[in-house]
Amino acid sequence: MSEIKIASRYAKALLELSVEKNALEAVISDFKTFLSIAEQNREVGLTLGSPIVNYDKKFNILKALLGKSANAITISFLDLVTRKKRSNVLIATAKELLRQYNDYKGIQVAEITTTLPLTDDLRKQIIEMVKEISGFDKVELVEKIDKDLIAGFVLKVNDKLWDDSISGKLRKTRMQFAQRYFVKLY
């Protein structure tokens, strides 16, 4: 079975259990922390995927990363997954859990990349635009700064990308010129 299917099933089960036990927000907070640490430290992912590192070490690393304030459901889930030698799918499961949580709560995550920080008015306009595009009432806007963008913005909502930047327009123009065929007249 593929890693995506496994992660999706684990995330669905964990989401349902967390809702049933009224611990959804705590579990989501734990997995946001875990995902943040895993994205910053490549070694965490390598360790979890390594067949050489045994269950005890992996589980102790996970407990140390999340600290003593982690929810009991989170700890039990991590224990079960690592004991069953499926720790290599934990990062994918965390990502899928956050995606399913956003669907469950009706939250649309959008990513905007600009050259300068957004003003409050512009942020409100973009949030309204994302609400209109997605049909969701709640929007979580992830803002990124990229100095190479020149001007404009790049907005990503789900799998759609709006590139309204000068560098994007230059790139498109360059590709159009590369596709032109010129004929010699003599």
pLDDT digits (tens, 9 = 90+) for 112-123: 888 888 888 888
Q: Specify whether the CB–CB gap between 52 and 104 falls below 8 A.
A: no
Same domain? 167 vs 120: yes
135 phi/psi in degrees, rounded to 5: 85, 0
Are 81 and 42 in a shared domain?
yes
Predicted pLDDT at 169? 67
Q: What is the pLDDT of residues 59-71, one digit of tens each?
A: 888 888 887 888 8
Q: Single out the residue in 69, 103, 137 at which a domain terminates.
A: 103
* pLDDT over 70 at 185, yes or no: no
22 contacts: CB under 8 Å, gap ≥ 6: none
Note whether 134 and 79 are same-domain residues. Answer: no
Asked if residue 185 is part of any domain, the answer here is no
Query: Which domain CATH number covers 78?
Result: 1.10.520.20
Mean pLDDT of 39-55: 84
For residue 105, give the 3-state DSSP assignment.
helix
Place of tokens 């669907």: 103
pLDDT at 183: 61
Same domain as 112, residue 92: no
What integer best gives the mean pLDDT of the chain?
Answer: 83
Rounded distance between C-alpha atoms, residue 97 and residue 28, angstroms: 8
Which residue from 173, 11, 184 is spatially nearest to 98, judged by alpha carbons? Answer: 11
Q: Which of 79, 103, 127 is the last residue of a domain?
A: 103
Give me the pLDDT at residue 110, please: 84
What is the Cα gyration radius of the chain?
Answer: 22
Give residue 9's pLDDT: 92
Residue 143 falls inside a structural domain: yes
The domain of 11 spans 3-103
Query: What is the tens place of the pLDDT at every residue in 122-155?
Result: 888 888 888 888 777 888 888 888 777 777 778 8
Indicate whether 160 belongs to any domain.
yes
Residue 186 inside a domain? The answer is no
Residue 167 has pLDDT above 80, yes or no: no
Top-confidence residue, 92 or 137: 92
- Does the pLDDT value for residue 170 go beyond 80? no
pTM of the complete model: 0.73
- Are 133 and 94 part of one and the same domain? no
Write down which residue in 63, 78, 103 finishes a domain: 103
Quick check: is 57 in a domain? yes
Tally of structural domains, the chain? 2
Coil, strand or helix at 34: helix
Phi/psi-derived region of residue 67, left when phi > 0, alpha when psi is between -120 and 50, beta in every other case: left
pLDDT band at 12 (very low <50, low <70, confident <90, very high): very high
pLDDT at 182 over 70: no
Q: Which two tokens stand for residue 58?
A: 């992996």
